[in-house]
Amino acid sequence: MHKLSASFLGRDCTGVVACVTSLMEKTHCDIVEVSQTILAGEFAAIFIINAPDSLSIDAAMREFSTGLSEAGIDLSVIVRPAAEGTWSASQQCEPFVVTAHGPDRPGLIAAMSRVFARHGINIENLKAILGEGGDNQALFVFEVKVPESMDLGRLRRELIAEGQRLDLLISVQHRDIFEAVHRIQPI
């Protein structure tokens, strides 16, 4: 077995996950990990799979593309060797959630992302919600991995300063605290 990354992107439709996973089953691939979402009618998924040694990358691309086409499902497919390990494997990291809320305009995600990049912080998940809090308002939720060696005070000050420059309200919380605060409790 060898580990592959298979990415699918295209128009969402009923049965798309069933089709993709059935193609993996047909080619004797075992799903190790998956992340899937729908955004404005577009389907996006990344599967990490264990594939039989006899299934080359080119053969997997052919099998998946042909099967999707035969099923009438409009998805682009990319298959490549899966990355070994994770970005943070060489350093100890803590999970944080950074939210930014304010007036929407182009360049907000790029500006916030540059702060993370300057500090060697990996963005693991990003969600942008437009219209949150009113017309022309945006809420961005960044899930990031912060190296333990990072000066959190400095990071917070830089994020808040960038937020002020962009008229965004910034919050930085450890993921455990964020989840505890936002957990829905029974009445």
Give the domains, in start order, of the chain with CATH numbers.
Answer: 2-81 (3.30.70.260), 88-182 (3.30.70.260)
| Segment 86-113 mean pLDDT | 86
**9-21 pLDDT, tens digit each:** 999 999 999 999 9
State percent of the chain over pLDDT 90. Answer: 79
Structure tokens at 119: 């500090």
**120-173 pLDDT, tens digit each:** 899 999 999 887 667 889 999 999 999 999 899 999 999 999 999 999 999 999
98 pLDDT higher than 70:
yes
pLDDT value of residue 102: 94
Residue 114 near residue 179, CB atoms below 8 Å: no
Residue 52 near residue 10, CB atoms below 8 Å: no
| Segment 104-117 mean pLDDT | 94
Query: In what order do the strands lie in the sheet containing 30-39?
Result: 30-39, 42-51, 2-11, 75-81
- How does residue 112 score in pLDDT terms, banded at 50, 70 and 90? very high
- Closest-CA residue to 88 (of 37, 129, 21, 143): 143
| Segment 60-86 mean pLDDT | 92
Residue 6 near residue 63, CB atoms below 8 Å: no
Q: What's the predicted TM-score (pTM) here?
A: 0.75
- How does residue 35 score in pLDDT terms, banded at 50, 70 and 90? very high
